[in-house]
């Protein structure tokens, strides 16, 4: 990781016209390619082979994720967004204005935009691993909210983060936002540990607003991760393209296929890349043998009932305050208090 904070976007020069300059600063703690390589080599040497979903999000991966969000089969984004549009005023009333809003995995920040209108925080701190997506979303938000200070942090939120800048911001409370059911990418044990760290970051009196996908008819889940247009397959396979480009790997994309299914016992969708034949792949000079039909596990998306998630949050030390669920019981947004 690069240790210094580089003011990549800040301070922007004062605009010659009368509108105020956007108040963006950019802290670059993005994991470097060496970390990516170490993780991939360890994941391919493991049995079964596994790769972290955080590496899906190069520029193309972020674009593909936004395309997934528009798919007719992919209910989570439009359901959560509708919940935010319907309930953002009540959420803000419960949370209170003047907080410091910190978001994990902000991506395009579409739902955040809705929240910012009602919550009126003193500053916004998106923490996102994908530099391109972070830069695009903060530039868009700065144009829409020119008075809002934005501290954009390009970092892996699974790593310990030192952000002394945040201590200087006077706010009524810290509010952590984690939409998109991204928490589902972690196993329940990892999710609990993550929530413990989020609680520490929130501090006394802090709050967390978190989107969590609900358990439901497995057929609906299956369709959401196996769309007819093949965009999710393209998203999954793009990880191979990324490794070829960044890690001098030689994956042949025609020799792997996207596999996604609901594992009912574990309560999660699993995504894998399956080798279509016996083959050897090289990554930065290291060889890895794949058997025909052998799979690399690329993502989990854990689903929770409201009660299951509340138990998890309580075990991490949060107090569940309120939960909003859509009429079809597809998706939940929880307000947790420290």
Ligand X SMILES: C[S@@+](CC[C@H](N)C(=O)[O-])C[C@H]1O[C@@H](n2cnc3c(N)ncnc32)[C@H](O)[C@@H]1O
Comparing CB distances to ligand X, the nearer of 179 and 188 is 179
Comparing CB distances to ligand X, the nearer of 65 and 304 is 65
The answer to whether 127 and 133 are in contact (CB under 8 A) is no
The answer to whether 313 and 322 are in contact (CB under 8 A) is no
Residues that bind ligand X (CB under 6 A): 54, 57, 65, 77, 105-107, 111, 128-130, 133, 156-158, 179-180, 182
Backbone angles phi, psi at 200, to 5 degrees: -60, -45
In the numeric block, which tokens belong to residue 285?
A: 């000079």
In the numeric block, which tokens belong to residue 190?
A: 């990892």
Could you tell me the end-to-end alpha-carbon distance of the chain, in angstroms, rounded to an integer?
A: 30
Comparing CB distances to ligand X, the nearer of 157 and 290 is 157
Q: Which residues does residue 319 pair with via DSSP β-bridges, in sequence order?
A: 337
Q: How far apart are CA 308 and CA 326, in angstroms?
A: 17
Comparing CB distances to ligand X, the nearer of 173 and 213 is 213
- Residue 335 Cβ, how far from ligand X at the closest point, in Å? 16
Angle at 110 between CA 261 and CA 65, to 5 degrees: 35
- Residue 250 Cβ, how far from ligand X at the closest point, in Å? 25
- Residue 194 Cβ, how far from ligand X at the closest point, in Å? 10
Q: How far apart are CA 206 and CA 265, in angstroms?
A: 34
Pseudo-torsion of CA 33, 36, 38, 44, nearest 10°? -140
- Residue 312 Cβ, how far from ligand X at the closest point, in Å? 18
Comparing CB distances to ligand X, the nearer of 179 and 206 is 179
- Residue 281 Cβ, how far from ligand X at the closest point, in Å? 24
Question: Exposed (0-12), middle (13-18) or buried (19+): which is 325, by Cβ within 10 Å?
Answer: middle
Comparing CB distances to ligand X, the nearer of 273 and 281 is 273
- Residue 20 Cβ, how far from ligand X at the closest point, in Å? 27
Comparing CB distances to ligand X, the nearer of 25 and 301 is 301
Backbone angles phi, psi at 241, to 5 degrees: -60, -40
- Residue 290 Cβ, how far from ligand X at the closest point, in Å? 25
């Amino acid at each position: 990781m690069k240790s210094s904070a580089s003011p990549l976007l800040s301070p922007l020069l004062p605009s010659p016209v009368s509108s105020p300059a956007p108040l963006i600063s950019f802290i670059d703690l993005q994991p470097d390619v060496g970390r990516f390589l170490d993780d991939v080599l360890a994941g391919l040497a493991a049995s079964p082979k596994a790769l972290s979903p955080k590496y899906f999000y190069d520029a193309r991966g972020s674009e593909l994720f936004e395309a997934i969000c528009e798919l007719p089969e992919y209910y989570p984004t439009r359901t959560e967004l509708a919940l935010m549009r319907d309930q953002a005023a009540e959420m803000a009333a419960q949370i209170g204005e003047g907080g410091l809003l910190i978001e994990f995995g902000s991506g395009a920040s579409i739902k955040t935009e809705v929240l910012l209108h009602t919550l009126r925080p003193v500053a916004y701190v998106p923490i996102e691993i994908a530099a391109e997506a972070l830069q695009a979303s903060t530039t868009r938000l700065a144009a829409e909210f020119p008075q809002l200070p934005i501290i954009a942090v390009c970092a892996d939120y699974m790593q310990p983060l030192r952000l002394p800048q945040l201590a200087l911001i006077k706010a009524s409370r810290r509010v952590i936002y984690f939409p998109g059911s991204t928490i589902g990418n972690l196993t329940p044990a990892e999710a609990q540990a993550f929530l413990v760290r989020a609680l520490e970051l929130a501090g006394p009196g802090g709050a967390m607003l978190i989107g969590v996908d609900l358990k439901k008819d497995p057929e609906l889940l299956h369709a959401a991760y196996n769309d007819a247009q093949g965009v999710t397959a393209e998203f999954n396979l793009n990880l191979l393209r990324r490794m070829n480009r960044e890690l001098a790997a030689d994956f042949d994309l025609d020799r792997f296929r996207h596999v996604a299914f609901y594992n009912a016992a574990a309560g999660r969708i699993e995504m894998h890349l399956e080798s279509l034949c016996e083959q050897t792949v090289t990554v930065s000079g290291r060889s890895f043998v794949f058997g025909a039909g052998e799979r690399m596990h690329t993502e989990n998306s854990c689903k929770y009932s409201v009660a299951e998630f509340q138990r998890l949050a309580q075990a991490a030390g949060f107090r569940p305050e309120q939960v909003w669920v859509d009429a079809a019981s597809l998706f939940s947004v929880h307000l947790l208090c420290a």
